[in-house]
Amino acid sequence: MSTIKSSSENLTLNADGANNDIKFQSNGSEVAQIDQAGVISSTGGSTHADNIKAKFGTGNDLEVYHDGSHNRLQCPTGELKLRASAVRLGSVAGENGINMVGDGAVELYHNNALKLATTATGVTVTGAIGGASNLGKVLQVINAVDASETATSSTSFADTGLTAAITPSASSSKILVMIGLHFATVGSQGGVGSRLLRGSSVIRSASDKSDGHGAGETSHHEAWIAFSYLDSPNTTNATTYKMQAKTNISGQAVYTSVDNNVSTITLMEIGA
């Protein structure tokens, strides 16, 4: 082993003839080593001044340095690949920016609030899509079908079974409600009244009379009530819409969803 000492004897350089290693010692303690494969190990890390680059690759394909104002990672050739069980990019303050989870979601944040996340079936957006006039304004669609026959002989409104719930993503959104209510009456005359409710509040009334088949007829006289209504619920809570019906002729029954017909309700959230 060859040994070189500085004049102050605070730094010692040892060349190990057996292992071809170069070892640096300070005050008797090893602080760095270069082994025969060219691998450098150090107990004190590596410090680079401004604009001093750490270069990797035969053609300096990757450079890492600080230019005095900004930190730079430059790859003039090839791709920059980050691979880990999870990759998280955020601010020094600890806020999330972009999270990529292995076998899971890719998440985008604004001011540490999740705004967009991929799912197994698409994406989930939190909030409105501002300035996206070319994407349309429909944020979600809910559809429900009622195939169960119901009947009422009351002149007071009763639930028909046609109902659906939606949770708006923004309080400024509107809900477009589209109704197709199938109904029937029996006999020489009859009529039906109907109305749309949001929760317990009536927001739209409709009626459709049926004159029946004639005296003595016992088969159903069928018809539809179809309309749409643009509502402003002003909430981000789950909101239920439903249809109610009544007979307009005392003692005359009104049926909904009869003879294998179905009634439908469709709710569409429209971004403001």
Residues 113 and 147 occupy one common structural domain = no
Has residue 78 been placed in a domain?
A: no
**Number of domains present in the structure of the chain:** 3
pLDDT band at 136 (very low <50, low <70, confident <90, very high): low
Residues 187 and 251 occupy one common structural domain = yes
Task: Measure the CA–CA gap between 190 and 209, rounded to whole angstroms.
Answer: 7
Residue 209 has a pLDDT of 56
Residues 6+ apart with CB under 8 A from 27: 10
Residue 217 has a pLDDT of 47
Has residue 213 been placed in a domain?
A: yes
Task: Measure the CA–CA gap between 65 and 63, rounded to whole angstroms.
Answer: 7
Residues 182 and 244 occupy one common structural domain = yes
Has residue 221 been placed in a domain?
A: yes
Has residue 65 been placed in a domain?
A: no
**Domain region containing 21:** 2-42
pLDDT band at 2 (very low <50, low <70, confident <90, very high): low
Q: Is the pLDDT of residue 1 over 70?
A: no
Count CB neighbours of 139 within 10 A.
17
Residues 150 and 219 occupy one common structural domain = yes
Q: Which is more confident, 79 or 45? A: 79
Has residue 116 been placed in a domain?
A: yes
- Whether 130 and 203 have beta carbons less than 8 Å apart is answered as no
Residues 116 and 148 occupy one common structural domain = no
The dihedral formed by the CA atoms of 7, 12, 18 and 20, expressed in degrees to the nearest 10: -100
Residues 110 and 25 occupy one common structural domain = no
The dihedral formed by the CA atoms of 123, 126, 130 and 136, expressed in degrees to the nearest 10: 50
- Whether 30 and 43 have beta carbons less than 8 Å apart is answered as yes
pLDDT in tens, 206-238: 765 555 444 444 556 777 888 999 999 999 999
pLDDT band at 76 (very low <50, low <70, confident <90, very high): confident
pLDDT in tens, 179-203: 998 888 776 566 788 999 999 999 9
Task: Measure the CA–CA gap between 83 and 230, rounded to whole angstroms.
Answer: 48
Residues 110 and 19 occupy one common structural domain = no
Residues 144 and 184 occupy one common structural domain = yes
Residues 161 and 264 occupy one common structural domain = yes
Q: Is the pLDDT of residue 115 over 80?
A: yes
Residues 6+ apart with CB under 8 A from 272: 128, 170, 172, 173, 174
CATH code of the domain in which 215 resides: 2.60.120.1340
What is the average pLDDT across 153-168?
92
Has residue 181 been placed in a domain?
A: yes
State the amino acid at position 130 in one-letter form: G
Half-sphere exposure at residue 29, Cβ-oriented, CA atoms within 13 angstroms? 5
Q: Is the pLDDT of residue 151 over 50?
A: yes
Has residue 81 been placed in a domain?
A: no
Domain end, chosen from 76, 95, 126, is at 126
Residues 153 and 225 occupy one common structural domain = yes
Residues 115 and 168 occupy one common structural domain = no
φ, ψ of residue 265 in degrees (nearest 5): -135, 130
User: Please, what is the average pLDDT of the chain?
Assistant: 82
What is the average pLDDT across 97-121?
91
Residue 216 has a pLDDT of 45
Residues 158 and 122 occupy one common structural domain = no
Has residue 223 been placed in a domain?
A: yes
Q: Which is more confident, 143 or 94? A: 143
